[in-house]
Amino acid sequence: MPHPDDVLKRAADLLACPTPPLDRGEVDAFVQAFLDRRDQFLGVCRRHGSPLYVLEPQVLRDRAAQFIAAFEDEVPDLRVYYAVKSNNSPAVAATLAEAGLGLDVSSGRELEMALACGADDIVFSGPGKTQAELALAVASRERVTLLIDSFGELERLEAVAAEVGTTMRAGVRLTTDERGLWRKFGIPLTHLAGFLDAADACPHVRLCGLQFHTSWNLSPAAHVRFITRLGAELGTLDARCRATIEFVDIGGGFWPSGGEWLQPEGTPEGALLRAVGVPAESPRCPHKLPAVPIGEFARQVGAAVRTHLLPHVRCRICAEPGRWLCHDAMHIVLTVVDRKGDDIAITDAGTNALGWERFETDYFPVINLSRPALAERECYVLGSLCTPHDVWGYAYYGTDICPGDILLIPTQGAYTHSLRQEFIKPLPDVAILPDAPLDLPRL
């Protein structure tokens, strides 16, 4: 147990350097961009009903082009894979595969969907792959590279591939933190040489790549740190081992350049105040953790790759963006069902459409498309689930809020659709903006 004086000092330091406020002008400009398109969103709601996920495929294509352009200027041989887990709508996966990206899947279920979408370049990552999942990957070996998660998985893959008399292309995942829960993923970097030796003894596995992943990266610091560590380890391997490495996959975790928008209770100082029973400031005062723009992200990662990796291995660099690609491409449309007072409204959708109590900690504006205004008014905007943690927001942009009003929660493309739950209320359908037929496999 730390000394109380040390705890108090750290708490004082935290309160003395609070999370920066979110600039109100930035939020107003963000809202205005959606108000300028309100007729589009109202139209899609009239045609498809409410609640609704609204997907914009062109935004996906634009983000993919921006990401590739940023990195290909810094990394000469680049391949980008969309991390399906961030939004598992088949429409998202199919759009990005058609745009030329590969797909990164983390389960047999996601692999089946990726294959059905027509993707011809798939990486299959994740711990604890079952025999059935390994068999599916081997059966689809012309389109799949399997990222091995452990020595045990290497043995199981060798057995599955040997049974059908074939060879499976594979890489190995390296854990970026040998402590705590992150030990779940991959093998320690210090075990890489031993793993390469073990793979060399498996004639039905062609190990030709390395992969690592870091998460929630507002800056490239975590990527650069591990690339530096990896380069040092590669320098200890003999030339024969290094020559087998055809790709290094630097994973994903890239944060959208708009940064992370937080309710007061979502900030470190807000969590501290809540823990000691002090109310946080008004939810009308959101905060922002800034994110490094993707161009600067690519510049720093590219410099680390050239400095620490390419002197040891001549290989392709792969990346697995998820959130960065899909965050802006999907929105949620709701309808107000009841107004229970001046400061509380109930909508037709619950946060089971998100899968978690997102808006108790994260901030996104609630936009009343039916009564538009560039002014935010305090009001609990809640869902219709039988739980008090069913919160869409603590304010709305508009002149008023009444039953029948159509509300928009913008930029909910990442880690909402994938986490949705069959809990109490039905799940929203997905509509495409502009309207287009959905002839896609279901996940």
For residue 350, what is the domain's CATH number?
2.40.37.10
Q: Which pLDDT band, with edges at 50, 70 and 90, does 334 fall under?
A: very high
Percent of the chain with pLDDT over 90: 88
In 242-300 the beta strands, taken as DSSP E runs, fall at: 247-249, 260-262, 287-289
Q: Where are the beta strands (DSSP E) in 233-309?
A: 247-249, 260-262, 287-289
Q: Where are the alpha helices (DSSP H) in 120-171?
A: 131-139, 151-163
Pair 309, 336 in one domain? no
pLDDT of residue 280: 66
How much is the pLDDT for 283?
Answer: 64
Question: How far apart (Å, rounded) are the C-alpha atoms in residues 391 and 203?
Answer: 54
* 335 & 216 share domain: no
Same domain, 176 and 243: yes
Task: Give the integer Cα–Cα distance in Å for 168 and 174.
Answer: 19
Confidence at residue 315, expressed as pLDDT on a 0 to 100 scale: 96
Tens digits of per-residue pLDDT, 15-74? 888 899 999 999 999 999 999 999 999 999 999 999 999 999 999 999 999 999 999 989
- The one-letter amino acid code at 247 reads F
Whether residues 409 and 315 share a domain: the answer is no
Q: Classify residue 263: in a domain, yes or no.
A: no
Condensed to tens digits (0 to 9), the pLDDT of residues 281-307 reads 666 789 999 999 999 999 999 999 999
Smallest CA-to-CA distance from 218 within 290, 288, 286 is with 290
Residue 387 has pLDDT above 50, yes or no: yes
Residue type, 245: I
Whether 244 and 212 share a structural domain: yes
Please give the backbone phi and psi of residue 289, each rounded to the nearest 5 degrees, phi first: -100, 115
CA 283/CA 359 separation, integer angstroms: 10
Strand partners, 209: 171, 247
pLDDT (average), residues 224-243: 96
Taking a C-beta distance cutoff of 8 angstroms, is the pair 176, 223 a contact?
Answer: no
Instruction: Tell me the pLDDT tens digit for each residue of 186-231.
Output: 999 999 999 999 999 999 999 999 999 999 999 999 999 999 999 9
Note the pLDDT tens digit of each residue in 88-125. 999 999 999 999 999 999 999 999 999 999 999 999 99
End-of-domain residue from the set 321, 340, 365: 321
Are the CB atoms for 90 and 78 separated by under 8 Å? no
User: What pLDDT score was predicted for residue 368?
Assistant: 98
The pLDDT, as a whole number, for residue 211 is: 98
* Same domain assignment for residues 174 and 316: yes
63 and 171 housed in the same domain: yes
Distance, in Å, from the CA atom of 200 to the CA atom of 216, rounded to the nearest integer, reads 35
**Is 245 within the bounds of a domain?**
yes
- Judge whether 136 lies within some domain: yes
Kindly give the pairing relationship between strand 168-173 and strand 144-148. parallel
> Would 377 be classed as within a structural domain?
yes
Q: Do 105 and 250 have their domain in common?
A: yes
323 DSSP 8-state letter? H
Quick one: pLDDT band at residue 262, thresholds 50, 70, 90?
Answer: very high
Closest CA to 80 of 57, 54, 99: 99
Q: What is the pLDDT at residue 269?
A: 86
d(CA 111, CA 293): 31
- CA atoms of 189 and 314, how far apart (whole Å): 19
Q: Is the pLDDT of residue 126 over 90?
A: yes
Q: What is residue 320's predicted lDDT score, i.e. its pLDDT? A: 98
143-159, pLDDT tens digit by residue? 999 999 999 999 999 99
In a domain, 272, yes or no: no
CATH code, 242: 3.20.20.10
pLDDT tens, 160-180?
999 999 999 999 999 999 998
Give the total number of structural domains in the chain.
Answer: 2
The closest of 428, 353, 344, 334 to 381, measured between CA atoms, is 344
- Residue 345 identity (one-letter amino acid): A
Q: Are residues 83 and 216 in the same domain?
A: yes
DSSP 174: B
Residue 152, domain extent: 58-257+292-321
Distances (CA, A) of 145 to 103, 197, 401: 11, 20, 51
pLDDT score of 281: 65
Q: Is 23 inside a domain boundary? A: yes
In a domain, 28, yes or no: yes
Residue 11 pLDDT > 80, yes or no? Answer: no
Position 438 pLDDT exceeds 80: no
Residues 206 and 87 in one domain: yes
Whether residues 313 and 246 share a domain: the answer is yes
On whether both 41 and 74 belong to a single domain, the answer is no
Q: Average pLDDT in the 372-401 region?
A: 97
The mean pLDDT value of the chain amounts to 94
Identify the pLDDT of residue 338: 98
Which own/partner pairs from 233-236 qualify as long-range (CB within 8 Å, at least 24 positions apart)?
A: 233/189, 233/190, 233/192, 234/309, 234/312, 234/313, 235/312, 236/193
User: Is residue 124 situated within a structural domain?
Assistant: yes
